[in-house]
């Protein structure tokens, strides 16, 4: 068994009793790798939102979003973010951003919530398929590929975990913009849990 496989198996076993995973089993939902990763890095008392990966091939920055919920219904949540350099050997030292000292994190998450998922591309099945069709436009497996992922809600209200990847377009623009917004926020100190946060 490779080191990567051993780490994946250990992670699944470690998270086997997670309430989030139990809820997924009850709903019959599959757990995706980025979701497992987010749960693994989740600070105590925080809730995993989602994340994104900056452009890169075998090396890229991976940013994960979390939030602390406050006991008072009239208080806003406190967002935090984690960043690490990801290589084929794993992730490097984590850096952190705290919404209490990084207002840009609120802007990034507000824009993250408004990201519009792309439409699936399906050929016009009701029309004859031409004998000579132009090749479909794919995206590279290396280079400038970006990804975003997170908990989402379907049109009928059903929950899902969504992962999107691409090499250009609106999502690529958002990833690059978000990375710039947070560039001055990173420190090596994990943000403390707010005193008024829920346990």
Distance CA(59)–CA(145), nearest Å, equals 11
Q: What is the pTM of this model?
A: 0.74
The pLDDT of residue 1: 44
- Structural contact between residues 84 and 93, judged by C-beta atoms closer than 8 angstroms: yes
* Greatest C-alpha distance within the chain: 67
Answer yes or no: is pLDDT of 6 > 50.
no
Domain ranges of the chain: 30-117+141-199
More confidently predicted of 57 and 118? 118
Q: How many CA atoms lie within 13 A of 50 on its CB side?
A: 21
- Structural contact between residues 84 and 92, judged by C-beta atoms closer than 8 angstroms: yes
Answer yes or no: is pLDDT of 51 > 60.
yes
The pLDDT of residue 140: 45
The pLDDT of residue 47: 93
Answer yes or no: is pLDDT of 66 > 60.
yes
- Give mean pLDDT, residues 166-187: 93
Residues 6 or more apart whose Cβ sits within 8 Å of residue 57:
142, 143, 145
- Give mean pLDDT, residues 103-119: 91
Answer yes or no: is pLDDT of 93 > 50.
yes
pLDDT confidence band for 86 (50 / 70 / 90): very high
Answer yes or no: is pLDDT of 24 > 70.
no
């Amino acid at each position: 068994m490779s080191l990567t496989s051993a780490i994946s198996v250990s992670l699944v076993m470690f998270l086997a009793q997670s309430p989030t995973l139990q809820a997924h089993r009850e709903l019959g939902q599959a757990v995706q790798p980025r979701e497992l990763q987010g749960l693994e890095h989740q600070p105590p008392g925080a809730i995993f939102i989602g994340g994104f990966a900056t452009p890169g091939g075998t090396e890229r920055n991976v940013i994960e979003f979390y939030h602390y919920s406050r006991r008072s219904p009239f208080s806003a949540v406190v967002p935090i973010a984690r960043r690490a350099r990801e290589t084929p050997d794993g992730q490097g030292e984590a850096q952190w951003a705290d919404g209490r000292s990084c207002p840009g994190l609120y802007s990034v998450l507000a824009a993250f919530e408004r990201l519009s998922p792309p439409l699936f591309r399906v050929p016009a099945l009701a029309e004859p398929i031409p004998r000579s069709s132009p090749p479909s436009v794919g995206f590279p497996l290396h280079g400038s590929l970006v990804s975003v992922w997170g908990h989402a809600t379907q049109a009928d209200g059903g929950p899902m975990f969504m992962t999107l990847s691409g090499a250009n377009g609106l999502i690529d623009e958002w990833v690059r913009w978000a990375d710039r917004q947070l560039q001055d926020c990173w420190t090596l100190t994990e943000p403390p849990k707010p005193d008024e946060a829920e346990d």
